[in-house]
Amino acid sequence: MEVPADAAVPPAFREYRREELAQAPAFGHGKHGIAELIVSREGDNPTRLVSDFVKVPYHLTGTLDGDPVDGLTTICLQEPTGGVAQGDRHSLTVEARPGARAHVTTQSATKVHSMKASFAQLDATLVVESGAYLEYLPGPTIVNENARCLQTTTVEMATDATVVIGDVFVPDGLSAHRPFGFDHYHSRTEASIDGSLVCADAVDLRPAERDPRNPATVGDYGVVGTLYVLAPTADDLDGLTEGIYDRIAAVDAVYGGVSALTDDAGLTVRLLGDRSADVTDALEAAWDETRRHVVGVGKPTGRGR
């Protein structure tokens, strides 16, 4: 049975891990979903999924074509178990080989259910090689009452690669419980370009200890969206920043901002709103603007994510 290394787990979650479960052991058989994906592209040919290893509760039925970006393939991960329970872990690894273009998403929102012990862990590791373009835009993460969720995203990329990551966090979105009724939510995103750290963003929310609805955290809003654009070789990042800001400002009921990363490595977008649909609309507008700027084509029509 594999468990997360202590070095990768915040102290509070190490304590949760010691709590025994009445059902199957935490991170044990049937509770540790694994998806290891490798995409590759030769010349101007379409990007192909050349290797995949998938273990329940992840499920994959192949790739999708039809994206307007030339040579880009879409991978839609499915989770047939109905949600993430206490002691569950999802481990996703995507390797984009030189020149590959891929969009990775999920079939629907990730629902983290209420818990009595342990915690849930959602890990994503993205390795993006020279000239590759990778998007990771899963559905919203819905964290319900009394849930504990550790969510980590790690990016290792080449200087001339591009990575776009989106995330929408919804507290208690599927219940009539009070807002922010979960126990503990910790999200961490780290990105390195040729081994040099350019982005380290962490959110740690424990509503019983500190109300997230204070002015320094989310204020009166209840849904948080984030878009990371890691594009060190993109032209005119200032123009992209202004374009994204104009697009999100046009979305009603959403408050947002755009910040530059160190060493012109890219930018981050943070969004706040009362409804996940509004925040998702704003995030997709920012994603569409990013695509138009970086690859010259907007997001797919219809169900963009």
Residue 28 confidence class, pLDDT cut points 50, 70, 90: low
pLDDT of residue 128: 98
**3-class secondary-structure state, position 278:** helix
The widest CA-to-CA distance across the chain, in whole angstroms, is 55
Percent of the residues in the chain that have a pLDDT greater than 70, as a whole number = 91
**For residue 69, what are the β-bridge partners?**
none
Averaged pLDDT for residues 130-144:
96
pLDDT digits (tens, 9 = 90+) for 141-180: 999 999 999 999 999 999 999 999 999 999 875 556 667 8
Kindly report the backbone phi and psi dihedral angles of residue 23, in degrees, each rounded to the nearest multiple of 5, phi listed first. Answer: -100, -145
Residue 2 confidence class, pLDDT cut points 50, 70, 90: very low
pLDDT digits (tens, 9 = 90+) for 50-100: 999 999 888 998 899 989 999 999 999 998 887 899 999 999 999 999 999
pLDDT digits (tens, 9 = 90+) for 244-284: 999 999 999 999 999 999 999 999 999 999 999 999 999 99
Is the pLDDT reported for residue 108 higher than 70? yes
Q: Which residue has the tokens 């329970």?
A: 85
Residue 4 confidence class, pLDDT cut points 50, 70, 90: very low
Averaged pLDDT for residues 211-232:
92
Q: Which of 264, 271, 270 is nearest to 239 (CA)?
A: 264
CA dist 60 and 41 (Å) reads 20
pLDDT of residue 81: 80
Handedness of CA 111, 274, 150, 197 (dihedral sign): positive
Task: Take residue 223 and report the two structure tokens written for it.
Answer: 């849904």
Do the beta carbons of residue 108 and residue 137 sit within 8 Å? Answer: no
Kindly report the backbone phi and psi dihedral angles of residue 80, in degrees, each rounded to the nearest multiple of 5, phi listed first. Answer: -80, 0
Cα separations in angstroms, 175 against 110, 120, 182, 295: 15, 19, 11, 40
Domain ranges within the chain, ordered by starting residue? 6-213
Instruction: Please give the model's pTM, rounded to 2 decimal places.
Output: 0.91
Task: Take residue 86 and report the two structure tokens written for it.
Answer: 């206490």
